[in-house]
Amino acid sequence: MRVAIFASGNGTNFEELAQHFQAGNLPGELALLFCNHPDAPVMGRAARLGVPAESFTVKESGGKLAYEQRVLAVLKQYRIDFIVLAGYLRVVGPTILDEYDHRIVNLHPAWLPEYPGLHSIERAFNDGRTQTGVTVHYIDADLDAGPVIAQCHVPILPDDTVASLEERVHATEHQLYPLALREALLAAGEKEY
């Protein structure tokens, strides 16, 4: 199975997953990084790890529909079977969703359905919660609402700051995502698409 990772920024989760693929800990082949910000640090990580990368913006594509059609063409060019979102800060629209039904997974820094969307860690912290979490889920047409694959709670400690909580959430992401992704890839590998 040929896998693409979509990312938009720094790429720590991308690098973690890429190393798992390269070590043989995840089934399939990491065949592509797609990034919607050509200057994002994740592009340098992909180059250093030898992962093919493609990047272009919505604006340079002429709008969201044209962008998604262009992304889909890239996915077909690389013969991608499965998509992994790792800090991809765009909503995936129907052009791609319809083609990859139940074959796109996302990592979200909250215990969904709590705190969908952006700034989830900060929102949980500011609400005075005693815990938040990390969720790996399939995506669908609704924001952060697809079927859950795995979740893990992260305590919010009395002496936490947003930065210290963020650090623990990211450490949990790096542990949970490879395990949940392995499960999703194995399940997808048993189906014919």
Q: What is the pLDDT of residues 39-72, one digit of tens each?
A: 999 999 999 999 999 999 999 999 999 999 999 9
Q: Residue 37 catalytic?
A: no
Identity of the residue numbered 60: E
Residue 95 assigned as binding residue: no
Q: Using the structure block, give the residue that is written with the tokens 């798992």.
A: 20
Mean pLDDT, residues 83-112: 96
Mean pLDDT, residues 159-188: 96
Q: pLDDT digits over 11-47, tens only?
A: 999 999 999 999 999 999 999 999 999 999 999 999 9
Confidence of residue 4 (pLDDT cuts 50, 70, 90): very high
Sign of CA dihedral 139, 141, 147, 151: positive
Q: pLDDT digits over 121-173, tens only?
A: 999 999 999 999 999 999 999 999 999 999 999 999 999 999 999 999 999 99
Give the pLDDT of residue 192. 53
Tell me the pairing of strands 131-138 and 53-55.
unpaired
Which residue ranges form the domains of the chain, and what is each CATH number? 1-100 (3.40.50.170), 108-173 (3.40.50.170)
Single out the catalytic residue among 20, 37, 102, 108.
108
For residue 172, give the nearest of 45, 35, 16 by alpha carbon: 16
| φ/ψ (deg, to 5) at 183 | -60, -45
Q: How many other C-beta atoms lie within 10 A of the C-beta of residue 47?
A: 12
Residue 13 assigned as binding residue: yes
Confidence of residue 193 (pLDDT cuts 50, 70, 90): very low
Give the pLDDT of residue 189. 87
pTM of the model: 0.95
Residue 126 assigned as binding residue: no
